[in-house]
Amino acid sequence: MLLVLKFAGLCLCLGLCRGLQFNDVDEEAPSAAQTSKYGSLWPLPQEVNIAETSFKLSSSTFRIVDSKQSSAGPSCNILQNAYRKYFEYMFGVARKQEFGKNGRPGLSELTELQVWVTSVDSECDGYPSITSDESYELAVDQPFALLVAPKVWGALRGLETFSQLVYEDEFGAKNINATKIKDFPRFAHRGILLDTSRHYLPVKAILTTLETMAMNKYNVFHWHIVDDPSFPYLSRTFPNLSQKGAYHPYTHVYTPADVKMVIEFARLRGIRVIPEFDTPGHTQSWGKGQANLLTPCYSGSKPSGSFGPVNPILNTTYDFMTQFFKEISSVFPDAYVHLGGDEVDFTCWRSNPDIQKFMEDHGFGHDYSKLESFYIQRLLDIVTSTKKGYMIWQEVFDNGVKLKADTLIHIWKGNQQQYQHEMARVTSSGYQTLLSTPWYLNHISYGQDWHDAYKADPRSFNGTEQQKKLVIGGEACMWGEYVDATNLTPRLWPRASAVAERLWSHQNVTDINDAYSRLSAHRCRLVERGIPAEPLFSSYCPREYKAV
């Protein structure tokens, strides 16, 4: 049967898409028939024990409540929101449950999940950070299930896990098995990058992504908010940036209220929002609303009318950056901003006589990476003065710019051997780093391309234990050239779920067949929760996606 299918697929492929690689269709697809002993848990917790004893759950009797000792009271928005949401995920908003209608709990019924936040400071009103404690322990047993976490962040992760333990029997009744779980993330930084410059993404699409991130225990939204094509960020200080630089000044912008909403929606899900304002390259859209910010390029002895990277030789550039990043530091609460610094094209700088003179005066010779470093160094000083830490793309490190000790270096270039070499170099210099190279999910190919994302491990490079500790995680990236709200979600999920497990679970969780079984079920859960996550392979979901 499999052979025939493969053969058919091959014919189709030879006929219609000759460019495709043979092995794209020759892939051995795991069988859905083997179900995992871990059910549909995704990402897999660090320690799991599921017993054969099962309890019934009914929407009319089941409750999620604060335990009496919990330090997070009824005024804790983060938890109250989560209780309501997870109740709806487990029982559905509209669907009526037949079981237990009379409200009298039977012997094998589970009626309560108690949530106990143990630390004096639950952090309910705060923002998550790189050091947030996301650990939790979950015990499902009689007379009630107990979720214990030091902070609300761990409680959120545990609620997601609890909801993943609930399954439906053949009569449609909800069940949960007696279970013990002890869980915490392997990496502290588990991010998704969305690009809202190449295509504008409506706020709703961003919120849907954040919601799905929480279902996958992601905790960082890297908002690559502006770039060459458009500048949708509405700055209070420099409103002309989006007025002139957005695709449309009213319909394709993020107002201060939009940004606030995204940050709060993320906070309620234990997700940090790190904005990226990439300079000095990738800034064409900035030039439209801010005169003299970009370098005029020359053709021979005359300006050509086109512009290059940010002009690093003018004092006004740094005055602008000082005011701009002052605003950014107050709008975005996270302790980090991403300053980009990738792919600076030196052609324009080289053509400009004023820049040439500046290079000479500063003894930079013809080495334009020295000019780039000159700019970045001043920018880093400006951002440091706003009390923020920074992330930067790897080129800034490669060019030898002096960096603060707590700088995060974001690796994105090269093939596997090259990025592993770079991880070794960066960590041997003592910097913390995170990986994206194997997780450019905007790149798609025929077949189960989540396998490659799943197999990559950010700590697999030649280095000491000390170096490995400097790897704080990674990010899945969805660059926007070919992505807008029409295809964002199915392109991202469940492929980003594969990355989520690599970043959360124990490093020896690598069984691709077990992963296939759990991920298929997890994907159906996403679909049931209204997220149009694409299929992994031929299969079905108990409840198929219905566009609303």
Q: Which residues are catalytic?
A: 343
Site for ligand NAG contains 45 (CB under 6 A): no
Token pair, residue 264, equals 């709060």
Instruction: Considering the complex, state which of residue 73 and residue 172 has its C-beta at the smaller distance from ligand NAG.
Output: 172
Q: How far is the CB of 435 from ligand NAG (least distance, A)?
A: 13
Taking CA 357 as the corner, what is the angle to CA 354 and CA 361, rounded to the nearest 5 degrees? Answer: 135
Instruction: Give the nearer residue to ligand NAG in terms of CB position, either 37 or 260.
Output: 37
For residue 170, state whether it binds ligand NAG (rule: CB under 6 A): no
CA distances from 144 to 109, 112, 147, 168 (A): 9, 5, 10, 19
Residues 185, 504: contact at Cβ < 8 Å?
A: yes
| Rounded least distance, CB 487 to ligand NAG, Å | 34
> Following CA atoms 428, 434, 438, 442 in sequence, which dihedral angle do they give, to the nearest 10 degrees?
-150
Q: Smallest distance, Å, CB 77 to ligand NAG?
A: 33
- Sign of the alpha-carbon dihedral angle for 286, 290, 294, 298: positive
Q: What residues numbered 406-445 form the site for ligand NAG, per CB under 6 A?
A: 417, 420-421
Q: Does the footprint of ligand NAG cover residue 287 (CB under 6 A)? A: no
Q: In 3D, which of 166, 118, 102, 106 has the Cα closest to residue 142?
A: 106
Of 508, 538, 546, 548, which one interacts with ligand NAG (CB under 6 A)?
A: 508
Which of 274, 186, 222, 283 is CA-nearest to residue 477? 222
CB of 244 to ligand NAG, least distance (A): 7
**Which neighbouring-strand residues pair with 174?**
57, 168
- Is 462 one of the binding residues for ligand NAG (CB under 6 A)? yes
**Which residue intervals of 69-191 are DSSP H helices?**
77-91, 152-165
Q: What mask, x for binding ligand NAG by CB under 6 A, covers residues 2 to 41?
A: -----------------------------------x-x--
**What is the C-alpha end-to-end distance of the chain, expressed in Å?**
36
Dist. CA 337–CA 509, nearest whole Å: 32
Nearer to ligand NAG, 108 or 445 (CB): 108
Residue of the chain from 84, 443, 469, 506 that contacts ligand NAG (CB under 6 A): 506
Binding ligand NAG by CB under 6 A: which of 81, 177, 329, 386?
177
For residue 461, state whether it binds ligand NAG (rule: CB under 6 A).
Answer: yes
* Shortest distance (Å) from residue 462 CB to ligand NAG: 4
Hey, how many other C-beta atoms are within 10 angstroms of the C-beta on 75? 9
- Interface residues with ligand NAG (CB under 6 A)? 37, 39, 50, 52, 54, 177, 240, 315, 417, 420-421, 461-462, 506, 508
